[in-house]
Amino acid sequence: MKNPFLIVASFLGATGVALGAMGAHWLREKFKAGIIDNFQYEAFDKATKYQLLHALVLLFIYFLYNQMPSKLVKITGWLFTIGVLFFSGSIYFLCTQNITGINFSFLGPVTPLGGVLMIAAWTCLLVFSVKKLKG
């Protein structure tokens, strides 16, 4: 697939809205019941915000790649994709482990790795932009 980022952006957007709604309603009940703590509740919310923000960024990457095909733009898109999946995905599992009864603590190191991948993606986009500016 030449440019999968419209599909990825759509998927992340749809699941981000669904998970945000789940957090606002179902997870809030678990917080009120004391099953999860405030940190878990807020972390889940932050994960959905990062996911939705980067779904929009990937939409931009889709259009940018169509206008200016570049290996660097494609790498940027994949770094954003994997970064969001690692960052937000690990937080979703970690924040709901009290509910599911499954110990997801092994995912702890995946969260910062996802953040590093998103930073790398933004850096790639910066490098691409500077190269384009210089002509």
- List the chain domain ranges: 5-134
pLDDT one-digit tens code per residue, 44-59: 999 999 999 999 999 9
CA dist 77 and 120 (Å) reads: 11
pLDDT one-digit tens code per residue, 19-47: 999 999 999 999 999 999 999 999 999 99
pLDDT of residue 27: 95
1, pLDDT greater than 80: no
Q: What average pLDDT does this structure show over 73-98?
A: 98
Where helices occur in the chain by DSSP H, the ranges are 5-22, 28-32, 38-67, 71-95, 97-100, 110-134
